Structure 1
């Protein structure tokens, strides 16, 4: 089962699992955080690629009764839990959405994994758990006690709740701290989409912290390869210390590109791919944002064999090409 199957990463993971011969049940509540039409199009894209291997149900996994009813009679041996209320900035406006989806929703999925004796649940955490840490690159061994947004706090809470389930019920769990994922079928609230849309439309782009921003941009294909590889290797219940420090069957990994790119360089590459210059508005730092992210991926390389291969010089033109084709611009 893949939650958030109409989302950016969820749809891509579902497609990859189907392509290798797995049968996938995708669930998503299709909320209107961004345009629902894109979510429907992602689901249709996965269905088209794997009509016999992919099934989809619209359900809100934060609603236990609705979730239980939707899963009645469904059979699955493992879970990739990618559904969440995403976005740092929106958490300042609508905190309850994050509590419902990311806290209640996560507990519900842990309960599903426990009661169905799942072989493994891989779940989405976030690089935002590192908060304002200024030691770079971020390591899974670093402390994550000082989140700077409610979104980050909910993701940290998910990790803590998962640790208790691994301890109490020995449920094998792997949390993935994603670093700025981008690529075809991406999210409209992310910088790459916003910048591409503005440049092609002739509108100015807003660049925060006066342009002094760095992100570990990770291409969707690399992320999906990492998610699937993790799914295939549940942490052992052997008392040994796992990545992230647990001695339970619970591992935590950074999943990024292991390169921190300055935002101004990303804008240059979008300009090149669009064939147009950007009109830039330099803005102050946004509340809840951080200046730099940079993933130390030693643990996931060592344990899982994860190796990102796509540079932003390769990945950004692929996103812009998809964007133009999708929007016919």
Structure 2
């Protein structure tokens, strides 16, 4: 298949692109390479896919591209309503995997406009391109953040999600509603994936895994919010990738269309881990005890997440299962190789 992966220079987009290439698919990667975090990390990921930074910096129009044997890369923002349709017209994609978005709960409090531009305007442009160029399946990233103030545990995709506590969460809920309307009106399949606290090698510097490790290595205190009374369904990047790729590769049959073109799945480890236990796993891997500074709950945060993945098991015979200590050890190994 020929697959568009947006956010290909990002954490999840990089791993999904890599896995699809290994399985023999043709992948077109798209990313605007913004400066939300260190762009050198984004270029380093692209380099793993055979894309050279010096050429990547020239990608500011569709007339320019960087291509390896089965992977091509375009530097483009989803908000570009003029050039995005040109890309779709030129490439004739079978499936679109939209992982590009302005990420981060806390940053949405500082720069809400970035979330509207990328997560709402950009997602609408993707939907319009899928409609106009007859894409048979759009797979897109949602987030466990949509569950917001829900207190029913574990979270199920049938739960009502009307209480987001951050603009980031609200944009992801909006994406699901927009996808539902387009599936209903125009008949193409859309599958939203609610990711639960992704971590692992090549992760973003604003993620807890990275922040804790970087602080401990540099002998600085770590910030522990809600006095450590938080729990998360930490999900290793390989488990997220496997779930995404399985859903991309499964053909869209007429039977599936009759059941409903719109679907939502949780992708999580089906286990809620205490934040302090997660920190202990990092300490054990580094052989160092962290200096901890306790802080109150932060705006936009929730106390606990936990994914029910019964639908994922039933439809794709898949359950994420990487143990926390294994995933933490793999991240620490990568961090030392890349930064030390």
The SS at the match of 1:73 is: helix
The match for 1:26 among 26, 29, 46 is 29
Which residue is 1:244 aligned to? Answer: none
> Is this contact kept in 2: 1:172–1:236, CA < 8 A?
no
Instruction: Tell me how far apart the structure 2 counterparts of residues 235 and 92 of structure 1 sit (CA, whole Å).
Output: 38
**Aligned residue among 47, 55, 58 for 2:50:** 47
Aligned residues: 322
For residue 116 of structure 1, what is the aligned residue in structure 2? 133
Q: Report what 1:319 is aligned to.
A: 331
Structure 1 runs of 4+ aligned residues shifted over 3 Å read 69-72, 234-241
The aligned residue for residue 310 of structure 2 is 298
Match of 1:14 in 2: 17
Contact 1:209–1:283 (CA under 8 A) maintained in structure 2 = yes
| Residue matched to 2:75 | 58
The Cα offsets for residues 165-224 of structure 1, whole Å up to 9 and x where unpaired, read as 100100111000000011111111110000000000000000000000100000111111
Q: CA deviation at 1:273?
A: 1.2
**Aligned partners of 1:240, 1:75: CA distance in 2, in Å?**
21
* Equivalent residue number for residue 237 of structure 2: 220
CA contact (8 A) 2:33 2:39 kept: yes
- Mapped to 1, the partners of 2:297 and 2:288 lie a distance apart of 26
In terms of mean alpha carbon deviation, does 106-115 or 285-294 score higher?
A: 106-115
- 1:234, distance to aligned residue in structure 2 (A): 5.5
| Secondary structure of the structure 2 residue equivalent to 1:57 | strand
SS state at 2:90 partner = coil
| Structure 2: stretches of 5+ with no match in the other structure | 52-66
What do you get for the CA RMSD once the two structures are aligned?
1.6
List alignment gaps of at least 5 residues for structure 1: 242-246
**What does 1:157-236 correspond to in 2, within 5 Å?**
157-233=174-250
Corresponding residue number in structure 1 for 2:264 = 252
Report how far residue 239 of structure 1 moved.
8.3
Q: Secondary structure, in 3 states, of the residue corresponding to 2:247?
A: helix
Q: TM-score, normalised by structure 1?
A: 0.95
For residues 4 and 106 of structure 1, the distance between their equivalents in structure 2, rounded to whole angstroms, comes to 12
- 1:36 counterpart residue number: 39
* Distance change in 2, residues 1:21/1:235 (3 Å): closer
TM-score, normalization: structure 2? 0.92
1:238/1:249 contact within 8 Å kept: no
Deviations 1:50-79 (A, max 9, x none): 931111110001121132344452232111
